[in-house]
């Protein structure tokens, strides 16, 4: 399916499925040709400003509403990317195997996962984007800021100071809410924000690591919030960031 786009970087959704950096192109192309027409009918929407995605390695961070978010991001990304997904999805029969083939790799939730961390660094070192949700799990009510941001994205950024690309997702919680295993009809969209350059989030190296992580998370939190309307974010600060230092 050919994306419909203009020079502003906005395209009709679903615009594309992207081949993963490990080379699963033929299998992914099969699924693209099979489901893209159905996706256009079921999930109308748009991807805005995807041309903002920097060239080279980049950490893509997005709010997390639904299990469908990874598929939406896969369509929205204008070039090959690897997607961090919870290990439970990777372990599902058939679905998990296909998720790995299209660029997904597992991360254990609730504790540090050194393998996922090293995989992310390897993806960046190879010049590709790595995509993850800093919340770690889906928002309980669809609003961003309900959950403490995990340290994963910040740790990766401190180890590999590359641009951070914020993305806001809309509508996926309505078409595939918690407890539902197949997507329904609905309108979904993705909004790419301005990339965050390393100099905007790096802090002095003599700061305690916990403070450096919180400072990166403050930057990520503000960037994602700037793309969301008020009703899709909490009024108060995100847990854990109330007193975080900012360099």
Summarize pLDDT for 76-102 with one digit per residue, the tens: 777 878 888 776 666 666 555 655 665
Q: Report residue 166's pLDDT band, with 50, 70 and 90 as the boundaries.
A: very high
pTM of the entire predicted model: 0.78
Phi, psi of 214 (to 5 degrees): -65, -40
Q: Residue 210 CB: number of other CB atoms within 10 A?
A: 11
Q: Report residue 247's pLDDT band, with 50, 70 and 90 as the boundaries.
A: very low
Q: Residue 52 CB: number of other CB atoms within 10 A?
A: 17
Mean pLDDT of the chain: 75
> What is the C-alpha to C-alpha distance for residues 105 and 123, in angstroms, rounded to an integer?
11
Is 21 a residue whose pLDDT tops 50?
Answer: no
Residues whose CB is less than 8 angstroms from the CB of residue 246 and which lie 6 or more positions away in sequence, other chains included: 215, 218, 219
Mean pLDDT of 187-203: 90
- Residue 6 CA: distances (Å) to CA of 9, 16, 49, 64, 188: 6, 15, 10, 27, 19
Q: Report residue 186's pLDDT band, with 50, 70 and 90 as the boundaries.
A: low
Looking at the domain 11-232, which fold is it? Glycerol-3-phosphate (1)-acyltransferase (3.40.1130)
> What is the C-alpha to C-alpha distance for residues 13 and 145, in angstroms, rounded to an integer?
26
Percent of the chain with pLDDT over 90: 34
What is the model's pLDDT at position 225? Answer: 93
Helix (H) or strand (E) holding 87: helix 87-91
Mean pLDDT of 214-238: 91
Structure tokens at 147: 């959950």
Least confident range of 46-50, 206-210, 243-247: 243-247
Give the residue extent of every domain in the chain: 11-232
């Amino acid at each position: 399916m050919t994306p419909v786009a203009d020079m502003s970087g906005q395209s009709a959704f679903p615009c594309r499925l992207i081949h993963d950096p490990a080379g699963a192109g033929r299998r992914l192309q099969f699924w693209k040709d099979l489901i893209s027409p159905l996706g256009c009918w079921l999930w109308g929407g748009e991807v805005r400003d995807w041309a903002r995605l920097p060239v080279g390695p980049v950490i893509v961070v997005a709010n997390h509403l639904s299990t469908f978010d990874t598929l939406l991001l896969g369509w929205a990304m204008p070039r090959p990317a690897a997607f961090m997904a919870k290990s439970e999805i990777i372990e599902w029969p058939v679905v998990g195997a296909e998720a790995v083939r299209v660029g997904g790799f597992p991360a254990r939730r609730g504790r540090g996962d050194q393998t996922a961390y090293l995989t992310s660094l390897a993806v960046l070192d190879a010049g590709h984007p790595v995509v993850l949700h800093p919340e770690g799990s889906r928002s309980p009510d669809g609003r961003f800021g309900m959950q403490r941001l995990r340290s994963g994205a910040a740790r990766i950024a401190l180890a590999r100071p590359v641009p951070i690309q914020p993305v806001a997702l809309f509508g996926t919680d309505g078409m595939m809410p918690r407890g539902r295993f197949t997507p329904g009809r609905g309108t979904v969209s993705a909004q790419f924000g301005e990339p965050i350059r390393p100099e905007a989030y790096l802090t002095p190296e003599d700061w305690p690591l916990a403070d450096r992580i919180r400072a990166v998370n403050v930057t990520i939190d503000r960037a994602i919030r700037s793309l969301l309307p008020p009703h899709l974010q909490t009024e108060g600060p995100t847990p854990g960031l109330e007193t975080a230092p900012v360099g």
